[in-house]
Amino acid sequence: MTAYYSEIIRVGLRAVNKGQFEACQALALSTFDTYRHVVLPQVFRVASPIILSQTIILFQDTSLVYVLSLTDLLGAASKLAQLNGRLVEMYLAVAVVYLIISSAASQFVTSLRKRYAIAGAHR
């Protein structure tokens, strides 16, 4: 999973125009100031919707750890359901929680993409 995130950051860094670095050199900015004030804000603008989308996917995949006999939200619900015999209700509650969190996060990513959309870029 870390490889995905690092690749997203790498692509974000490559999205910054070479002229930005040259302009910083012309202004005699240090490497630290170049990245802090010029490069990283642009990388954040490009990469944050993708990073958040990948985080949503990671969250949705957490239910798969139950298959490996590790405890997560689904595993905790299963253990509770075995105690009180309400399997359907517990799984339904977990599904609703996953739906609410995933939907809210997806809406946030959509609004972030619209906010960071570059003028003139058509999708």
Using the predicted structure, report yes or no on whether residue 25 has a pLDDT greater than 50. yes
Does 91 reside within a domain? yes
Using the predicted structure, report yes or no on whether residue 35 has a pLDDT greater than 60. yes
Half-sphere exposure of 99 (CA within 13 A, CB side): 6
Q: Quick one: tokens of 90?
A: 């517990």
Does 7 reside within a domain? yes
Nearest to 24 by CA among 12, 36, 10: 36
Number of domains in the chain: 1
Which domain CATH number covers 48? 1.10.3720.10
Does 93 reside within a domain? yes
CB atoms near residue 74 (< 10 Å):
20
Does 26 reside within a domain? yes
Does 123 reside within a domain? no
Could you give the 3-state DSSP secondary structure of residue 28?
Answer: coil
Does 29 reside within a domain? yes
The span from the CA of 93 to the CA of 100, in Å, is 11
Using the predicted structure, report yes or no on whether residue 120 has a pLDDT greater than 50. no
Nearest to 4 by CA among 72, 60, 67, 52: 52
Measured CA distances, 75 to 5, 39, 54 (Å): 27, 42, 23
- pLDDT tens digits for 79-111? 888 888 888 888 888 888 888 988 998 898 888
The span from the CA of 123 to the CA of 116, in Å, is 13
Does 33 reside within a domain? yes
Residue 50 is part of which domain span? 2-116
Mean pLDDT of all residues belonging to the chain: 83
Average pLDDT, integer, range 20-27: 93
Output the pLDDT for position 71. Answer: 62
Does 46 reside within a domain? yes
Top-confidence range, 41-50, 68-77, 109-118: 41-50
CB 10 within 8 A of CB 39: no
